Amino acid sequence: MPIAIRIAFFVGSWLSVLFLPNKKKLFVKYLPVSLFSALTVMCEIFFFSTHRLWKVKGGQKNMTHTAFLLLFGPYLVMNIWVFYLSKGKFLYYALINIAADLVYAFPIIALFKKFNVFHIKVKSIYFFLLLLADACLNFGFQKFFEKIYPQPEMDLQNKGES
């Protein structure tokens, strides 16, 4: 059952991309922050694993598979969705993240534990706060990245004119 859950989360998240408008433009714009975020969470997973705060049934191999499927599935895609939905506005970004992180830190983590996907030995409230800190770091990274590499807005009306 845990393998089916992992794969369902991975495939389901990537299927959601079909509903994003301007997929190519959004990926170009938000892939750097999503990869930065995945790298940050990968470091946190390493820390949690080293200090035995994160346990996956089946040992290191299952832990690696679980981390990969969650990071490069729902986590990466969700980052793109949140940035798209918030339109670069911090208040919207914060509200969306608070709602999503509450759902993830409490009921989703509890389901993962119940179905033996993985277990985190950190109180849910602290895990929630870590998720919020990650979100703030991501927003700051995206704003910094946009200043360094500004992306021209697509002008659909003048697209054919030269």
Separation CA 110–CA 134 (nearest Å): 20
Which pTM was predicted? 0.85
Do 100 and 128 form a contact (C-beta atoms < 8 A)?
Answer: no
User: How many CA atoms lie within 13 Å of 77's alpha carbon, on the beta-carbon side?
Assistant: 18
Three-state DSSP class for residue 79: helix
Do 117 and 6 form a contact (C-beta atoms < 8 A)?
Answer: yes
User: What tens digit of pLDDT does each residue of 26-61 get?
Assistant: 988 999 999 999 999 999 999 999 999 988 888 888
Say which DSSP state 121 is in.
-
Rg of the Cα atoms in the chain: 17
CA nearest 44: which of 142, 138, 140, 146? 138
- Confidence check: pLDDT of 160 > 50: no
Do 22 and 80 form a contact (C-beta atoms < 8 A)?
Answer: no
**Residue 81: predicted pLDDT:** 95
User: What tens digit of pLDDT does each residue of 92-114 get?
Assistant: 999 999 999 999 999 999 988 88
- Confidence check: pLDDT of 155 > 50: no
Other beta carbons within 10 Å of 40 = 15
Q: Residue 153 — pLDDT band, cuts 50, 70, 90?
A: low
* Backbone conformation region of residue 65, classed left if phi is above 0, alpha if psi is from -120 to 50, else beta: alpha
One-letter-per-residue 3-state SS of 73-95: HHHHHHHHHHHHHHCCCHHHHHH
